[in-house]
Structure 1
């Protein structure tokens, strides 16, 4: 489907360029309430300027309220069997804090899997390492054992839209930072001991810093 839009002459040089992003802004319900309330009757198109050559044809994308927070963030891709309840705008969580969002979906080359595109905020992109583990984080999980049922509750936003969580196993030295568009596997369940990873991580970092300080002092005194 093709749609024709008209820009005012004074904006053509700014927005009719390669790299400009045209997206539909729609109302969205989240834990904070209803956003983009002015679009309830009719959505509108948001445009973000590009810096490339002059262009007249663009692909219209679906926007979410989190887009502007992640424009300059790190893009990574998760490989999954299906999209399930995931959708554009679904949050990406690190220890319960939203640090990213889902920006799109596309089929793999053999159509045997779904690639889930994520954008991680620039502020938190250092948390994504080559050995990071991603998993589905549902709002509520009911487990039964010998002692009865256990209900683990997530955030209200997870309950409404689901979510993706990730963590990084501790290693010495730390695994390299993930490069743009790196692929990870989306696991259906969380690792059993992931909540302890951060503590081990911190101790490893502190030990390395202390060791380096001792080595620096030894070199300094031997030079005297």
Structure 2
């Protein structure tokens, strides 16, 4: 009996494979979990890895660790170091394209001392999250720490400075000596040759920044040497050490419309320059002086009867004719000076002041309006230009040289005075002073010889022999007077013992009278001897001492 074979198909999947598959799935899940927990990898480009150690240097946000440096790689082509950093997965949202990184280490700069805690813990990298919605994986390390956190309220503006002092990042901005912000960035613009500053004004002080505010550098001490004298002003101690930027409204002006964010302002060298720059509506005039302009400098005031109406622009004016400066021409002896008539100084509404000036200047010059140099300060020697009317001036009109109208001038008062002084000195030089001085010298020589001879005569009169003889006679006379005084006292005692009216009394009275008469006679002699001791030797009425004469 033939039996048919039965072929039974077995299942292709064996139960035994379930175990390895489960193991593979578990392993894959574990690997995924491991990779997920490791976080996001980013790359940080820096100039050098000073203080940064792979596997040790941490990345922090507000002192909380969010990552660690895993590796450092030298990139020779770009002359840089690339740090591989792993950020914890919980902080992936911090890695926006405008995030900032910098190294925290001990620093001593104009903002103070910082990073001292890293002396023990070591250098770490600070991460400042940005505000962008786009993420990134490649960043560049900053040289300086970020000063303003994104969560700080305020408004940013920009400043440009051509001639002002170069300021550092972190320099304070002050409104009437109160700090309201700071410099956030500083960069030199090689195209405009100016410094560009980014500043941040903290809220709510941004409401002080209107369109008409002015910014100037406040170094803490200002010395102004001008026609008004020497003016020294100082600020606070912090300004003296670090300096700062001051902002305020122009004098006698109120706040204008609030400025928008990123509005650009000019940063002026000082407050005086900031005020000068307000007068941007002006006309240029040329003044030719037939005298020395020593002491006149650019920036000196131009005044009309004490009221400032302009500023000296160029001294001397840079005018060229035939390839040479105008003031070096042989047919021109005057020195040209270029001035600005600033209409904002004449009247607050500068357009009206301009119309008034231009409509009357020709008439004023015909009536005698002239420019002259005036001494502003004798100590500094500074001078300024004064406009005034001179009744003796000849009628003139405005002339023009190139594009500048010319205002006529007159010699200044101190120049005329100098000419008079020079004329007086010339007259003194013409006097025969040499002969007069010679005669005076001969006279002084004769007086000197006379003095020597007189001194010799006095020495002869006061020689030792004459002096001893006079002293001896005076001693004898003094003894006689002493004896006479003693006798008188004795007679007084004797008279006291006798009665009045007796013969002895009368005799004694006569004797006393004679003695009194003798005493009165001797008094003039004693007085004369005291006044002229030599009269015992020489005659009192002898002639005058002979006067030595030249040639005798």
TM-score by length of 1: 0.69
Partner of residue 127 from structure 2, selected from 47, 62, 65: 47
1:164 aligns with 2:245: yes
Quote the RMSD (CA, aligned, Å).
Answer: 3.4
Q: Cα–Cα, structure 1 residues 57 and 116, in superposed 2: closer, same or farther, change >3 Å?
A: same
Residue 302 of structure 2 corresponds to none
| Residue equivalent to 1:73 | 154
Q: State the distance in 1 between where 2:268 and 2:260 align.
A: 20
3-state SS of paired residue (1:4): strand
Aligned to 1:10: 89
For the 8 Å contact 2:164–2:267, the answer to whether it is kept is: no
Deviation per residue, 1:122-146 (Å, 9 max, x gap): 2211111111100000022233468
- Say if 1:154 and 1:39 are closer, same or farther in 2 by CA, change over 3 A: farther
Residue 70 of structure 1 contacts residue 119 of structure 1 at CA under 8 Å; is this kept in 2? no
Which stretches in structure 2 are left out of the alignment for 5+ residues? 1-46, 48-79, 276-552
Q: Displacement of 1:107 after TM fit?
A: 3.7
SS of the residue corresponding to residue 159 of structure 2 reads strand
Residues 5 and 139 of structure 1: CA distance in aligned 2, closer, same or farther (over 3 Å): farther
Taking a change above 3 Å as real, the CA distance of residues 19 and 146 of structure 1, as seen in their structure-2 partners, is closer
Q: State whether residues 175 and 247 of structure 2, in contact with CA within 8 Å, keep that contact through their aligned partners in structure 1.
A: yes
**Could you say which residue in structure 1 is the equivalent of 2:101?**
22
> Runs of at least 4 residues of structure 1 off by over 6 A?
145-148
Structure 1 residues 166-181: aligned runs within 5 Å: 166-169=247-250, 174-181=255-262
- The answer to whether the 8 A contact 1:105-1:114 is kept is yes
SS at match of 2:239: helix
Write the distance in 2 (CA, Å) between the matches of 1:145 and 1:126.
36
1:112 maps onto 2:219 in alignment: no
Alignment partner of 2:264: what SS? strand
CA distance in structure 2 between the aligned counterparts of 1:82 and 1:183, rounded to whole angstroms = 17
Task: Please state how far the C-alpha of 1:114 moved relative to its aligned partner.
Answer: 1.7
Cα distance change, pair 149–103 in 1 and its aligned pair in 2 (3 A): same
The aligned length equals 191
Do the aligned partners of residues 94 and 45 (structure 1) sit closer, same or farther apart at CA in structure 2, a change above 3 Å counting?
Answer: farther
CA distance in 2, matches of 1:146, 1:175: 33
How do 1:74-89 and structure 2 match up within 5 A?
74-81=155-162, 84-89=165-170
More helix by share: 2
Cα deviation per residue 1:85-139 (whole Å; 9 max; x = unaligned)? 4100011111111111111123447242221111111221111111110000002
- Which runs of 5 or more residues in structure 1 are unaligned? 195-224
Structure 2 contact 155–206 (Cα < 8 Å) conserved: yes
**2:145 maps to which of 48, 54, 63:** 63
Aligned in 2, Cα 1:148/1:132: closer, same or farther, shift over 3 Å?
Answer: closer
Correspondence for 2:9: none
Find the structure with the greater CA-based Rg: 2
8 A contact 1:70–1:122 mirrored in 2: no
Aligned to 1:129: 210
Aligned to 2:442: none
Q: Which has the higher contact order (CA 8 A, sep 6+)?
A: 1
Distance between the aligned counterparts of 2:103 and 2:169, measured in 1? 12
**Residue 23 (structure 1) shift:** 3.3
User: CA–CA distance in 2 between the matches of 1:185 and 1:77?
Assistant: 9
